[in-house]
Every structure is written in structure tokens, then in C-alpha cells.
């Protein structure tokens, strides 16, 4: 990190929703993986509505700020609270269902400190599905257009024809994830944010309760002359959906609501196209809700029979 005069404080921020043990594990993974000195790092956990006693889980974690919300305020609003409560030059925002690999934060900060990268506002690391690093998550995407409802990861078209060129283009599934580069947007499951840039771009748009706020932030960064970068030398493990399993139907609804908010914010199409997009988003939501609902009912039925 350089001499003492060159130290840059890093604020590690995570938003918790009934995933306290995962959040504590995530924070401890940073401490275990990082050579950063204690004066270089601080922690903030924003707890969205739980009543659990955190003290035993966070015992021994230095410089940690616990922010309790009386209710679930959503990801964007909670993340903004965590960012405002910290003072680091860089904000390492990470989901609680994640683990940080060795040196990830230090390497990411060093990348943004490089004079060649002074215009990068947001950095996304390489994200794996599993601790064996056998599967890379598609955490880098192209900006979505009005047809996102057709080409998204969970869309009917992608499920029926995973290798179709339209979905591949949006998901960047055939893109090389081993080299750094400038990209449209990176997943909010983990990103390093330059505070100086956020002061100009603004924080997450709180109109989004959950999902798409990361796309929106990256889009606004590019619009203000900043850049978004993918940096695979920094690695994290992300257990997709571990934080949203408590209310799966609600999360699906919120995801598609956010898709509609994003579309209305950035696209000015005819009434006919708007109706088609709304229909596509609604159909996509139903396609995801129905099997999820069936699965929930089946598990409850099996559970009741077991008793």
C-alpha cells in the first residue's frame, strides 16, 4: 500500500438481510485474506430489520460500525447508509453471502491507484460460484436494452436456448473473463467504488428496492465521464441467492419491478413498445414465480408429511 503517507482508507460495506452468520463470515474473510494494516480498513454492516445479537458474531473484528434498520429498507437505501457512515477513499461493497480471496481488496485498490486508471469509478472483481473456483459467475454484462426480458439469465429464451447469440451478447457468456478491461457494468454482489467519483455521480438510486441499482450506477458513471472496469486479479466467491431465500417470491417481484423502473428511466419509446416491454417483463416474472411457488408448496407438503 506504500508508505504511511500514501495509505488509503478502505471501507468494507455489506448489507444484511437475515444472513447474520454469512455476513460475519464475509467480514472475517476480509481480515483473513488481506495484508492491509488495521489503520487502512474499516467495516460497516447495515442490518435490514433483524433482531439478532451481533456481538458474539463480530467479536474481535476491529473498527466495525453496525447500523440497524427497523425494517427492510431495500439494498440501495441500506448500501447508501453504509457508504455515508464510512469515510474511506474506497468503498468495497460486498454481499454477505460472499467470501474474499487472498489479497482481493489490496489488488483492487492498487488497480484504482494506478495513474492509468484514475478515471475508473467502479471496479468489479472476478466472481466464482464455488470455493473450488470451478465456475465463473457472469458478473460482467452489457447494458440492457428493452429486450432484456427476453435475453436475461432467467428468461424463457435463455432457458430453452442457452447459447443463443442475443442472450450471449447481453450476458457476455462467451467473453474472456481472464483479462482486465473496461466494461458496461459489473455486478453489485461485489464492487470497489471510488468515493471521489461517487461525490460526482451520486449514490445508488433508492427508487430501486432490490436489483438493477448496480446497472443504474454504472450507467450514470459512464454518462459523467467515468469508467467501469473488470479486474480478475481480485477474486471473490459468491453464493448466489443465499440472502434472498427467505422471501423468494418477493425478490422475484422486486427484480422485475426494478427492470421496469430502469426501462422507464432510460428509454423513451412509443406506447406500443412500452406495452410490449411491460408484457415481456410481466411474462418473465410469471415464468419465474410459478415454478418457485410450486417448489415452495412441494417442500411444505413434504415437511408436513414428515411430521
- What is the pLDDT at residue 111? 98
Q: What is the mean pLDDT of residues 67-80?
A: 95
Q: Using CA of residue 62, residue 44, residue 130, residue 179, what is the dihedral sign?
A: negative
The residue among 99 and 38 whose pLDDT is bigger is: 99
Residue 158: pLDDT band (50, 70, 90) is: low
Higher-confidence residue of 253 and 153: namely 253
Indicate the domain borders of the chain: 4-238, 248-306
Q: Is the pLDDT of residue 2 over 60?
A: no
| 288/74: higher pLDDT | 74
For residue 21, count CB atoms less than 10 angstroms from its CB and return exposed for 0-12, middle for 13-18, buried for 19 or more.
exposed
Averaged confidence pLDDT in the chain: 88
CATH 3.90.550.10 describes domain 4-238 = yes
- Alpha-helical (H) ranges within the chain are 20-33, 75-85, 104-113, 148-151, 156-160, 165-171, 195-201, 213-223, 248-266, 271-306
- For range 13-40, the mean pLDDT: 90
**Mean pLDDT within 83-106:** 97
**Other beta carbons within 10 Å of 173:** 15
pLDDT band at 23 (very low <50, low <70, confident <90, very high): very high
- pLDDT given at position 300: 76
Place of cell 410469471: 286
- The alpha carbons of the chain give a radius of gyration, in whole angstroms, of 20
Query: For residues 299 and 290, what is the distance between their CA atoms, to the nearest angstrom?
Result: 14
Note the pLDDT of residue 3: 38
pLDDT at 305: 66
Cβ neighbours for 194, distance < 8 A, ≥ 6 positions apart: 89, 90, 112, 120, 121, 122
Section 229-253 average pLDDT: 85
276-300: pLDDT as tens digits? 888 888 988 898 888 888 887 877 7
Per-residue confidence band for 45, with pLDDT thresholds at 50, 70 and 90? very high
Q: What percent of the chain has pLDDT over 90?
A: 63
Q: What is the pLDDT of residues 249-273, one digit of tens each?
A: 998 999 999 999 999 999 988 899 8
**Per-residue pLDDT at 207 exceeds 50:** yes
pLDDT in tens, 169-205: 767 777 778 999 999 999 999 999 999 999 999 999 9
| C-alpha–C-alpha distance, residues 121 and 244, integer Å | 28
Confidence (pLDDT) at 94: 98
Res. 4 pLDDT band, cuts 50 70 90: very low
Amino acid at each position: 500500500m506504500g508508505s504511511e503517507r500514501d495509505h488509503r482508507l478502505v471501507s468494507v460495506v455489506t448489507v444484511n438481510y437475515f444472513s447474520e452468520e454469512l455476513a460475519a463470515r464475509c467480514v472475517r474473510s476480509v481480515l483473513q485474506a488481506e495484508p492491509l494494516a488495521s489503520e487502512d480498513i474499516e467495516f460497516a454492516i447495515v442490518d435490514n430489520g433483524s433482531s439478532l445479537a451481533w456481538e458474539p458474531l463480530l467479536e474481535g473484528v476491529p473498527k466495525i460500525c453496525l447500523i440497524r434498520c427497523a425494517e427492510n429498507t431495500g439494498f440501495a437505501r441500506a448500501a447508501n447508509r453504509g457508504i455515508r457512515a464510512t469515510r474511506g477513499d474506497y468503498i468495497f461493497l460486498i454481499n454477505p453471502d460472499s467470501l474474499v480471496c487472498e489479497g482481493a481488496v489490496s489488488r483492487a485498490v492498487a488497480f484504482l491507484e494506478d495513474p492509468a486508471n484514475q478515471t475508473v469509478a467502479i471496479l468489479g472483481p472476478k466472481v466464482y460460484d464455488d470455493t473450488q473456483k470451478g465456475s465463473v459467475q457472469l458478473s460482467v454484462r452489457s447494458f440492457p436494452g428493452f429486450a432484456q426480458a427476453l435475453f436475461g439469465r432467467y428468461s424463457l429464451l435463455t432457458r430453452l436456448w442457452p447459447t443463443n447469440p442475443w442472450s450471449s451478447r447481453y450476458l457476455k457468456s462467451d467473453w474472456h473473463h481472464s483479462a482486465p478491461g473496461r466494461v458496461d457494468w459489473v455486478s453489485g454482489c461485489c464492487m470497489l467504488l471510488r468515493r471521489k467519483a461517487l461525490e460526482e455521480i451520486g449514490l445508488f438510486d433508492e427508487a430501486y428496492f432490490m436489483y438493477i441499482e448496480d446497472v443504474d450506477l454504472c450507467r450514470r458513471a459512464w454518462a459523467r465521464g467515468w469508467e467501469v472496469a473488470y479486474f480478475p486479479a481480485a477474486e471473490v466467491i459468491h453464493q448466489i441467492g443465499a440472502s434472498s431465500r427467505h422471501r423468494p417470491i418477493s425478490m422475484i417481484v422486486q427484480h422485475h419491478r426494478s427492470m421496469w423502473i430502469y426501462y422507464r428511466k432510460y428509454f423513451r419509446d412509443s406506447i406500443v413498445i412500452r406495452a410490449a416491454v411491460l408484457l415481456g417483463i410481466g411474462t418473465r416474472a410469471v415464468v419465474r414465480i410459478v415454478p418457485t411457488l410450486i417448489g415452495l408448496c412441494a417442500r411444505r407438503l413434504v415437511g408436513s408429511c414428515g411430521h
